[in-house]
Amino acid sequence: MTDTQPRVSKSTLAYDWIHRRITAREFGPGYRLVLGDIARELDMSVVPVREAIRRLEAEGLVTFEHNVGARVALVDQSEYVFAMQTLGVVEGAATGLAAPHLTEEDLLRAEEVNQRLTALLDHFDPHQFTRVNQEFHAVLFERCENPHLLDLVHRGWTRLSGLRDSTFDFVPDRSRESVKEHADIIRLIRDGADPLEVELAARNHRWRTVNAYLARPHHE
Amino acid sequence: MTDTQPRVSKSTLAYDWIHRRITAREFGPGYRLVLGDIARELDMSVVPVREAIRRLEAEGLVTFEHNVGARVALVDQSEYVFAMQTLGVVEGAATGLAAPHLTEEDLLRAEEVNQRLTALLDHFDPHQFTRVNQEFHAVLFERCENPHLLDLVHRGWTRLSGLRDSTFDFVPDRSRESVKEHADIIRLIRDGADPLEVELAARNHRWRTVNAYLARPHHE
DNA sequence: CCTTCTCGGAACATATACGATTTCGGATAC
DNA sequence: GTATCCGAAATCGTATATGTTCCGAGAAGG
């Protein structure tokens, strides 16, 4: 009995494959996604690949031009700033909603991750810092009970991580303040602060990062 | 010379066609979207229709089951509540960001729309009220300069209007308070209040509607 | 030397065809 | 009468084929 049971559709396979490569930055911004090539690489026809790309398009990871093709979305500075601003809004809200549900265990874990961030401050590697930084925030917002909102947060992170290098490439100094602000947020939550206060702390934390980026010395 | 110039792709055509019918509630929640039927109706093959449905799926308007097919997403009560909560967050933020850019003209227009809402309070029609209500809020948030955020607001409204009947079907009394709160929001903006204050007013305005819905007498 | 036109290849858009899977009704066994 | 099994119809999933559009290279003309 030959195994002709595609547990998951090829369309989904292609979607995951491309998505992974974009977020892993193997396909950088502007990278041309040629249907035929991808289909050949994945040993399938172009049809499932087309569908996968349509979905990625709807998520904003890919731009599509009629009769020309798809490429990984590239973001200019203003778009990047807008995306960060939006992420601040939704992530802040998610964190605020999650705060009352965080256990002491969660907070200890958050502190542990923040410790790792502190350790990274010497021998600074922007990309690794960004990765661990995301892990930190995930601990805080994942308990949010609103799946819609959580989905928006995830998409926001995905876009940013896929479409642009670490912000800390440009403003490494911001990382030190960032770690301190993390501690502040944890303290607020542990003290049982008003969720709105937690939300605004999380939001402003992110917005300050954007502002630091905008105010950086070298505008190339 | 025969006109064989497809200005827009058939895929896009199908997307718009389905999207319109969902938001117009011709295809209600749970409606089965059969590829072949739609393709025949639009006089095209199933391939473009598939792509269109994939995009709608990514936007959450349509759910898809492997080897079974697509149907218009149906929302249970909790999902509805989450969607409204999320809309409150993003719409509130957009309104707050838009507030400083609103002109006196905009505010007059908002007041005019709110007048129409007041007029609708007698001979109450929930659907029409919802439509004009959306128009009111659109006046306030459309000036938001962040296109990402604005996109999230639009998607939120689309989902809600497509997937469920007017909230005011269930809690008609809420409409009177709603109109009053609108006036409050306008006043805040005109007085040049802190954007954060405007944001929270807009958010809480929506959240109160959800709460009214949850607290309604008849839980069928 | 620069501009413009033309042509050919590359890539997309869509149609058609076929195989695979699910679903549902009816027949059969108990 | 009910439960189970089987088969046909419906529908999806994918491959292949063909037409169309876009883009760049190279030739022709100014």
Q: What's the structural domain count of chain B?
A: 2
- According to DSSP, residue B69 is labeled E
pLDDT the model gives residue B139:
98
Give the residue-averaged pLDDT of B112-140: 94
Question: What band does B219 get if pLDDT is binned at 50, 70 and 90?
Answer: low
Asked whether the beta carbons of B155 and B167 are under 8 A apart, the reply is no
pLDDT of A53 > 60? The answer is: yes
CB contact under 8 A, B54 and A59: no
Q: How far is it, in rounded angstroms, from Cα A198 to Cα A92?
A: 8
Q: Where are the alpha helices (DSSP H) in B24-173?
A: 35-42, 46-59, 77-98, 104-120, 126-141, 147-163
Residue A56 lies in a domain: yes
Q: Residue A17 CA to nucleotide D13 C1', Å?
A: 19
Q: Strand D: list protein residues with Cβ under 7 Å.
A: A 6, 9-11, 39, 43-48, 65-68; B 4-6, 33-37, 46-47, 50, 66-70
Q: Is B129:B117 a contact under the CB 8 Å cutoff? A: yes
Write the pLDDT tens digit of every residue in B170-212: 898 899 999 999 999 999 999 999 999 999 999 999 999 999 9
Distance from the A40 Cα atom to the nearest Cα atom in chain B, whole angstroms: 20
Structure tokens at B96: 């707050």
- Asked if pLDDT for residue A3 goes beyond 60, the answer is no
Segment A177-195 shows an average pLDDT of 97
Per-residue pLDDT band for B1 (boundaries 50, 70, 90) equals very low
Alpha carbon distance B201, A39 (integer Å): 51
Which one of A55, A82, A146 has the shortest CB-CB distance to B86? A146
- Tell me the CA–C1' distance in angstroms for A55 and C22: 25
Boundary (domain end) residue, out of B72, B87, B120: B72
pLDDT at A6: 54
Residues A122 and A165 in one domain: yes
Query: Is A2 inside any structural domain?
Result: no
CATH code for position B35: 1.10.10.10
pLDDT digits (tens, 9 = 90+) for B24-79: 889 999 999 999 999 999 999 999 999 999 999 999 999 999 999 999 998 888 99
Are residues B15 and B66 part of one domain?
yes
The predicted structure's pLDDT at residue B7: 66
Q: Which of residues 28-47 of B touch strand C (CB under 7 A)?
A: 44-47
Judge whether residue B68 contacts strand C, using its CB and a 7 Å cut-off.
Answer: yes
Q: Give a yes or no: residue B4 inside a domain.
A: no
Same domain, B81 and B63: no
Same domain, B110 and B204: yes
Let me know whether A81 and A56 are in one domain. no
Q: Answer yes or no: do A121 and A19 share one domain.
A: no
**Domain span at residue A20?**
10-72
CA-CA-CA-CA torsion for A165, A177, A140, B152, nearest 10 degrees?
A: -50
Interface contacts A/B by beta carbons within 8 Å:
64
CATH number of the structural domain spanning residue A131: 1.20.120.530
CA of B33 to C1' of C17 (A): 22
Among B72, B92, B124, residue at a domain's last position: B72
Judge if B59 and B96 occupy the same domain. Answer: no
Distance from CA of A43 to the nearest CA of B (A): 20
Which residue from A55, A93, A149 is facing B58, i.e. has the nearest CB? Answer: A55
Confidence of residue A162 (pLDDT cuts 50, 70, 90): confident
On whether both B108 and B198 belong to a single domain, the answer is: yes
Residues B41 and B24 in one domain: yes
Q: What is the DSSP letter of B218?
A: -
Q: Are residues A92 and A32 in the same domain?
A: no
Domain membership flag for residue A125: yes
pLDDT bracket for residue A1 (50, 70, 90): very low
In a domain, B220, yes or no: no
My answer on whether B60 and B91 are in the same domain is no
Look at residue B123 and tell me if it is in a domain: yes
A33 CB closer than 7 A to any strand C atom:
yes
CA–CA gap between residue A44 and residue A206 (Å, rounded): 42
Q: Which residues of B touch A59 (CB under 8 A)?
A: 58
Set of chain A residues whose Cβ sits within 8 Å of the Cβ of B148 = 79, 82-83, 85-86
B145, B207: one domain? yes
- Measured in whole angstroms, how far is the alpha carbon of residue A217 from the centre of its chain? 25
Using a CB–CB cut-off of 8 Å, the residues of A that contact B are 8-9, 11, 47, 50-51, 54-55, 57-59, 66, 79, 82-83, 85-86, 89-90, 93, 146-149, 152, 196, 200
Q: Round and report the angstrom distance from CA (A69) to C1' (C10).
A: 11
* Domain limit, last residue, from B54, B72, B90: B72
Question: Is A63 within the bounds of a domain?
Answer: yes
Q: What is the DSSP string of A166-177?
A: -GGGT-TTHHHH
pLDDT in tens, B127-171: 899 999 999 999 999 999 999 999 999 999 998 887 777 888 889
Closest Cα in chain A, distance from residue B112 (Å)? 30
Residue of A nearest to B203 (CA): A93
3-state secondary structure of B216: coil
Residue whose structure tokens are 């200005």 = B7
**Residue A11 or residue B217, greater confidence:** A11
Average pLDDT value for residue range A138-164: 93
Asked if the structure places residue A1 within a domain, the reply is no
CA angle A137–A98–B212, rounded 5-degree value:
145
Inter-chain touch A89–B149, beta carbons under 8 Å: yes
